Structure 1
Amino acid sequence: MELAQLKGNYDAIFSLGDLCLASIQLKKHNLRPYSGVLDWLASPELSAVSLVLENRFLGFMEYENLRVIGYADDFICVSDDGYNFVSNHDFDGGKNTLKNLDSYFEVMEKYERRIQRFLTAMESSNRILFVRTEGDLEDAAMLQDVLSRLVKKDFSVLLINHTSVSGMVERHCPLEKVCSIEFPNVDKWEGNHSLWEAMLNDIHLTTK
């Protein structure tokens, strides 16, 4: 799929990780009116994202699978070992300790709202865009397969890998629903703003 084919209007746009970079850029370009399920989690394995979508988030952040890693600034860093996700922004250090996640049910109420909103969008949206940073062709193919069964109508995946390129490079992708882009891996948080702007140009979110 080519980048030019992504242009146009979408009913919903969601980040699928791997960090919060995609969600930050979507917000910056007025393409993220609310938080998605994976916006603020570290999800290093795209295959695990496909699995949690395949399972419709069954077992996501289950208490028995959580492992406290330590402090991340003012928050408790927690791993969901079931899916190999890491939360750095959910468990406030003022409400939780390294031994007790006292706000667990409060956090899960928030995630349940996001999950239900996500699943509703999968059923009702005419056109959905998913944005993911980091992932190889094999895992992208798995994601496309899972989404083809989860999404009722049309969808596309924008996959951005950070490599040794010097600018934005569009790679040929044989997958029908996946557009593959490469960005420079030097200072990917602050150094590629103009590339994100160029890539997301003429992609719009239809507000209801």
Structure 2
Amino acid sequence: MRLAELKGEYDSIFSLGDLCLASIQLKKNNLRLFSGVLDWVGSPQLSEVNRLLMNRFTGFMELDNLRVVGDAGEEMLLVSEDAYHIFSNHDFTKASNTYTNLSAYPEVKQKFDRRIQRFLEKMESCQRILFVRTEGSLQDVYDLQTVLTGLVKHDFRILLINHAPVGGIVELDWPLDKVCAVQFPNGEKWVGNDEIWKTMLKGIHHL
């Protein structure tokens, strides 16, 4: 699928990781109307995201699966969700939690549960959904398309952005019906590609 075929209106637009970059860019381009489950966590392995979606988030962010692995800056703890190999670095403040006691866990879990419920409701009710993911192999994205086909009741599209040593937007001809895959420059991906994101997302609208 080419970028031109991705244009149009969507009932909902969700980031599927792998970091906060996709959700940040969706927000900058006025396409993020609410928080998704994976907006502010690290999900480096798309295969694990696929398993999470296939399981409809069963067991995700359970206290027994959480492990503090270090610091996420001066104010936050880096917490590993070991069941799905996902990392939280925006949920547990050092002011309210310690390395041995995640005392804010009930509030964090409630937040994730609300987002999960909304996500699953959107999978049932929306007529057209766009999923945006940074970093993924052809095989993992094929598996993602398969999982979403079973999860989404109506229509959906997947926009995949891989970062590589390229000079601009490079469209990839992947043989997947619902996937548009592109490459972006990998030099300064957090701040240097704003205009490229803007160009790519032009013509995509939220209902």
Q: TM-score range by the shorter chain?
A: over 0.9
Letter in 1 for 2:30: N
1:106 to 2:107 alignment: yes
Displacement of 1:71 in angstroms is 1.8
Displacement of 1:33 in angstroms is 1.0
The aligned counterpart of 1:56 is 56
The DSSP-based 3-state class of the residue aligned with 2:89 is strand
1:46 to 2:46 alignment: yes
Q: TM-score, normalised by structure 1?
A: 0.98
The aligned counterpart of 1:35 is 35
The aligned counterpart of 2:147 is 146
**Cα deviations across residues 36-55 of structure 1 (Å, max 9, x unaligned)?**
00000000000101100000
Matches within 5 A, 1:53-132: 53-73=53-73, 74-132=75-133
The aligned counterpart of 1:183 is 184
Identity %: 61
**Cα distance in 2, alignment partners of residues 136 and 178 from structure 1:** 12
**Cα distance in 2, alignment partners of residues 57 and 32 from structure 1:** 21
The DSSP-based 3-state class of the residue aligned with 1:98 is coil
Letter in 2 for 1:186: G
Q: Which ranges of structure 2 fall in alignment gaps of 5 or more residues? A: none
**Cα distance in 2, alignment partners of residues 103 and 178 from structure 1:** 38
The DSSP-based 3-state class of the residue aligned with 2:150 is helix
Displacement of 1:108 in angstroms is 0.4
The DSSP-based 3-state class of the residue aligned with 1:51 is helix
Which consecutive aligned stretches of 4+ in structure 1 deviate over 4 angstroms post-superposition? none
The aligned counterpart of 1:22 is 22
Q: TM-score, normalised by structure 2?
A: 0.98
**Cα distance in 2, alignment partners of residues 194 and 28 from structure 1:** 11
Letter in 2 for 1:59: G
1:166 to 2:175 alignment: no
